[in-house]
Amino acid sequence: MYDKEILKNGLRLVTHHMGQRNSIALGILIGAGGRYENTKIKGVAHFIEHMAFKGSQKYACEEIKEKIEGVGGSLNAFTSEEQTCFYAKIPSKHFEQTFDILADIVFFPKLTTKDANKEKAVIAEEIKMYADQPQHHVYDVLEKLMWEDHPLGQGLAGTVESVMGMSRQDLLKFHQEHYTASNTVIGIAGEVDNTKIMRTIKQKLAGLDKKEIPGFVPGHLEQSHSRYKIAHKKTEQMHLILGLPGLHEEHKDRYKLSLLTTILGGNMSSRLFNEVREKRGLAYSIGCSVKFLHDTGLFAVRAGVDNRKLVQAFDLIVKELNKVKKYGVTEDEFTRAKDYLVGQLLLSLEDTMDHMLWMAEWVMQHNKVKTVKEVLDDFAKIKRQDIQAIAQEIIDENKFNLAIVGPVNKEQESELKGILQI
């Protein structure tokens, strides 16, 4: 059972009591991420995530870590395209202190010029680190190919130039605009006491301003022919991603696409894993993923392949995608994929942290939480033929976007263009 409340200032709270637990997982989610930035301040949401841990109005940098880790807890944060999340997991009896710390660093960070200048160098090294890792860099190449000249295609951390060029005023302005009560969801799961939680949250955050939630540039994908982009790099392995426009987070067919993703490349019994890796040894790493955003989405197949087998591997991937469009999936594949996704959900929800993130993200994205039963009922309604139908909708050769990082030669590039029909 989920308890959802909205404070007078618009702040949303969702809690879930999980019996026989000694811990509480706490998350503060802000509806601000990479897509809310322009080119000048690209990476500012991620920058603020870093800066929050440098000290707040009430807590020094060292205190933040020591007071939570000192009682056996842990804390961290992440930034995505559409949200920034600060979270902690602690023994239940330390909830009030932990919430006070987390809320203080999120809503009342110092954001000093001195700290910002030091952190710029740290983030610049982080950007360089991911650029040096082809399995990560290839995602940046794909997103730039698909969303060129759009915030979704410019990298969550920004560029070294954009980060180094940001001022304290840039950080403050973004924080003031986005870190507001109506743009915040607090999620708490574990050994919860709702009376204590509400009292603690109101004491700390009832005074936050209620402001209009900032908008974003629409991310609709218009594409009439296949495209590719190669980042030539001397590597021992080629890294490729084939990306296609997916579905937005409210789409009625999102669970159908999740099932298709699992059947094609969601685990070690998937089609692509068996065909590309097990039967032919063309790749060590192969899989599918799906991303649902507010108004757009992404379906992707990624692989790490032998440099000499790039074309052979990509050709096989395309053939497998076309095969599921033409022939659909077997009853066994369909049942296994459904049981796998349901099983993974149930297993994850046994953990207080995963459960907190699941329900808080539901509220952030949909302003409600679906019960597990409702999700299971949605999956139960899906029929085997629905998977072929969603495959025919999503897998369109005119909308292929191929991103590669590695030492692609001219002959390989020519053969890839032939497969892409460019």
Q: Tell me the angle at which helices 95-107 and 61-69 cross, rounded to the nearest 10 degrees.
A: 150
Residue 211 lies in a domain: no
If asked whether residues 191 and 268 sit together in one domain, one would say no
* Diameter of the chain measured on Cα atoms: 68
Residues 192 and 332 in one domain: no
What is the count of structural domains for the chain?
Answer: 2
**Residues 6 or more apart in contact with residue 247 via CB below 8 angstroms:** 253, 254, 257, 292, 297, 394
For strand 23-30 and strand 84-91, is the pairing parallel, antiparallel, or unpaired?
Answer: antiparallel
Q: Which two tokens stand for residue 122?
A: 């740290």
Q: The dihedral of CA 91, 93, 99, 105: what is its sign? A: negative
Domain boundary among 142, 170, 205: 205
Is the same domain home to 260 and 174? no
Radius of gyration of the chain (CA): 23
Judge if 178 and 60 occupy the same domain. yes
What length is written for the chain? 422
Q: Residue 178 in contact with residue 113, Cβ under 8 Å?
A: no
Same domain, 245 and 293: yes
Answer yes or no: is 310 within a domain.
yes
Nearest to 116 by CA among 53, 177, 176: 53
Q: Is residue 215 part of a domain?
A: no
Q: CA-to-CA distance for 372 and 383, rounded, in angstroms? A: 19
Same domain, 287 and 347: yes
List CB contacts of 117: < 8 A, sequence separation 6 or more: none
CA 413 – CA 294 distance, rounded (Å): 35
Domain that holds residue 173: 2-205
Residues 6+ apart with CB under 8 A from 59: 67, 101, 104, 105
Q: What is the pTM of this model?
A: 0.94
110 and 198 assigned to the same domain: yes
Rounded CA separation 219/352 (Å): 33
Q: Residue 213: inside a domain, yes or no?
A: no
Contact 187, 360 (CB under 8 A): yes
- For residues 248 and 139, membership in a common domain is answered with no
- Residue 310 corresponds to which tokens in the numbers above? 């790039």
Q: Output the domain CATH number for residue 329.
A: 3.30.830.10
Regarding whether 303 and 265 lie in a shared domain, the answer is yes
* Same domain assignment for residues 231 and 148: no
Domain-terminating residue out of 172, 205, 238: 205
Asked if 5 and 198 touch (Cβ cutoff 8 Å), the reply is yes
Q: Which of 205, 238, 260 is the last residue of a domain?
A: 205
Asked whether 37 and 44 are in contact (CB, 8 A), the reply is: yes
311 and 363 belong to one structural domain: yes
Conformational region of residue 328, where left means phi above 0, alpha means psi within -120 to 50, and beta covers everything else: left
- Counting as low any pLDDT under 50, the low residues of the chain are none
- Assess if residue 327 is contained within a domain: yes
Q: Are 73 and 184 found together in one domain?
A: yes
Helix (H, G, I), strand (E, B) or coil at 286: strand
Of 5, 110, 24, nearest in space to 63 by CA: 110
Is 214 domain-assigned?
Answer: no
Residue 212 covered by a domain: no
Contact (Cβ atoms closer than 8 angstroms) between residue 27 and residue 103: no
Residues 6+ apart with CB under 8 A from 191: 17, 18, 21, 22, 23, 24, 92
